[in-house]
């Protein structure tokens, strides 16, 4: 299985591996970067009956402003009937990580999702969670490798 639909702007990138959309936020996104990631979600909703999402928030990603959060929530809401699971990975620690986790949790509450949402501290843990919802998708190792590849491109 190959990483497809790769997009990058600065240190924000997204790609698709099977039926999983992966977004890596290694900096706080601008509106343009957020639109790029949301476009990946839109394309996935048009091409898959059901899919999963993994959002990786790196150590240099802080809380995006309100309009960016609204953009993301609106698109997630639009595709909610197709989303099976969402794994958020917050890689930072300490106060910054607590603040980011609080915002991520708040966004999930705003969605009132029918799908499962869980927050992790590592990509490895998130991949196992996603596999439990989409067993036909890529292996946990392939998902982890895809995050590494996205960061390297």
Strand segments (E) across 42-137? 51-57, 83-90, 116-120
Say what the pTM is.
0.89
Enumerate residues 6+ apart whose C-beta is below 8 A from 81: 114
Q: What is the residue-level pLDDT of the chain in tens, covering all 153 positions?
A: 688 989 999 999 999 998 899 999 999 999 999 999 999 999 999 999 999 999 999 999 888 898 998 999 899 889 999 999 999 999 988 877 777 777 777 666 666 666 788 889 899 999 888 888 766 666 778 889 999 999 998
Short-list 50, 46, 42, CA closest to 20? 50
């Amino acid at each position: 299985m190959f990483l497809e639909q790769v997009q990058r702007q600065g240190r924000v990138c997204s790609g698709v591996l099977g039926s999983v959309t992966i977004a890596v936020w290694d900096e706080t996104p601008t509106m343009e970067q957020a639109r790029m990631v949301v476009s990946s979600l839109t394309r996935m909703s048009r091409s898959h009956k059901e899919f999963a999402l993994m959002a990786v928030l790196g150590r240099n990603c802080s809380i995006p402003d309100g309009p960016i959060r609204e953009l993301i929530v609106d698109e997630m809401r639009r595709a909610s009937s197709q989303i099976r699971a969402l794994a958020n990975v917050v890689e930072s620690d300490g106060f910054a990580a607590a603040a980011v986790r609080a915002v991520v949790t708040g966004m999930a509450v705003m969605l009132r999702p029918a799908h499962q949402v869980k927050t992790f501290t590592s990509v490895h843990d998130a991949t196992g969670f996603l596999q439990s919802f989409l067993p036909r998708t890529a292996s946990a190792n392939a998902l982890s490798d895809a995050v590494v590849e996205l960061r390297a491109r």
